[in-house]
């Protein structure tokens, strides 16, 4: 007996492909967020460990303060980038979750389809066996001739 094909199989394959792509994008975004956080932490550590000498001529003091201000701006920008990368990573992860849910929904439909086909096959087999048994029972009584001697 030929089994009916699951009509949504191409859609299910597409959903699985989308889910794999979303998983890869989520992993990449998480890696980028971790790198941005690491860089921001390095900038902040470097800035915290900066020490100005006690006595500097005015020109050098002004240059050192400008350098520290620039370093502080870089650290703040790096932290803002790390925060934005983490938020972006969460959005990409949410897209992955949504893709996985769509795939799971189609997989459940496929499982129900296979289950319904199996149930139909079981019912047909049971009906065939019942017909075979009841048919023989009916023929046995009609064809049976009592033995006489």
Cα distance between residue 109 and residue 3, in whole Å? 16
Q: For 96-118, what is the mean pLDDT?
A: 94
Cα distance between residue 9 and residue 12, in whole Å? 5
A 10 A CB-CB count for 99 gives 21
pLDDT digits (tens, 9 = 90+) for 57-81: 989 888 988 999 999 999 999 999 9
Cα distance between residue 120 and residue 109, in whole Å? 16
Whether residue 88 contacts residue 28, with contact meaning beta carbons closer than 8 Å, is answered with no
Cα distance between residue 26 and residue 29, in whole Å? 5
Average pLDDT, the chain: 89
Alpha carbon 130 to chain centroid distance?
47
A 10 A CB-CB count for 47 gives 16
pLDDT at 95: 96
Cα distance between residue 6 and residue 117, in whole Å? 10
pLDDT digits (tens, 9 = 90+) for 28-46: 999 999 999 999 999 999 9
């Amino acid at each position: 007996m030929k089994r009916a094909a699951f009509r949504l199989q191409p859609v299910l394959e597409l959903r699985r492909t989308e889910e794999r792509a979303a998983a890869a994008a989520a992993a990449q975004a998480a890696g980028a967020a971790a790198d941005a956080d690491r860089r921001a932490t390095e900038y902040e550590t470097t800035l915290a460990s900066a020490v100005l000498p006690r006595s500097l001529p005015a020109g050098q003091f002004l240059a050192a303060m400008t350098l520290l201000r620039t370093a502080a701006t870089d650290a703040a920008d790096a932290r803002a980038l790390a925060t934005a990368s983490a938020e972006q990573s969460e959005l990409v992860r949410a897209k992955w979750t949504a893709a996985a849910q769509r795939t799971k929904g189609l997989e459940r439909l496929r499982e129900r389809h296979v289950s319904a086909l199996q149930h139909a096959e079981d019912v047909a087999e049971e009906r065939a066996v019942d017909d075979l048994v009841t048919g023989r029972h009916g023929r046995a009584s009609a064809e049976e001739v009592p033995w006489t001697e």
